[in-house]
């Protein structure tokens, strides 16, 4: 994590700050503006890199529920698990998912939604992961 923040800093901020999700706490922690994606009309993507599956049974339960939940916010899997090969560098996630949304703001809204909150907590218990929202390109 950048700017000298640790996962425990984010967790502590999430517990003490008036935010309803870890996403809100991270925005505060890292300075992301609430309207950062608001003006974009380009597709948005959610990249999930699972570094370690800590609880296989809980992760399987998460996977059974997350698809329908995500689709209700307009998300569509482009990549879901499957084989991958690192061609350069030391990057080594055990599982990758790439989800397309109408906009990056749509992906952010889903992650910050009440509908996803319990699933997000389940994912955090089941797997150590990095979750990234990306903005697409025009054309």
Whether residues 28 and 49 share a domain: the answer is no
Chain center to CA of 88: 24
Whether residues 55 and 115 share a domain: the answer is yes
User: Whole-structure pTM over 0.85, yes or no?
Assistant: no
28-56 pLDDT, tens per residue?
544 555 555 555 678 999 999 988 999 99
Whether residues 69 and 130 share a domain: the answer is yes
Whether residues 62 and 90 share a domain: the answer is yes
Q: With beta carbons less than 8 A apart as the criterion, state whether 43 and 103 touch.
A: yes
Q: With beta carbons less than 8 A apart as the criterion, state whether 103 and 75 touch.
A: no
Whether residues 17 and 50 share a domain: the answer is no
Number of other residues whose CB lies within 10 A of the CB of residue 96: 16
2-30 pLDDT, tens per residue?
344 344 433 433 443 334 455 555 455 44
For 13, the domain range is 1-32
Whether residues 60 and 113 share a domain: the answer is yes
Q: How many structural domains are present in the chain?
A: 2
Whether residues 45 and 25 share a domain: the answer is no
């Amino acid at each position: 994590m950048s700017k000298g923040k640790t996962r425990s800093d984010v967790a502590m901020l999430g517990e003490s700050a008036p935010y309803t999700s870890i996403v809100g706490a991270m925005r505060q922690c890292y300075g992301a503006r609430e309207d950062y994606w608001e003006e974009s009309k380009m597709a948005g993507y959610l990249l999930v890199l699972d570094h370690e599956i800590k609880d296989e049974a809980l992760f399987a339960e998460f996977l059974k529920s997350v698809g329908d939940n995500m689709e209700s916010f307009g998300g569509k899997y482009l990549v879901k698990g499957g084989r991958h090969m690192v061609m350069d560098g030391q990057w080594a996630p055990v599982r990758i998912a790439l989800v397309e949304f109408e906009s990056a703001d749509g992906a952010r809204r889903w992650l910050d939604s009440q509908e996803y909150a319990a699933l997000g907590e389940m994912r955090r218990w089941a797997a150590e992961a990095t979750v990234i929202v990306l903005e697409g390109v025009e054309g």
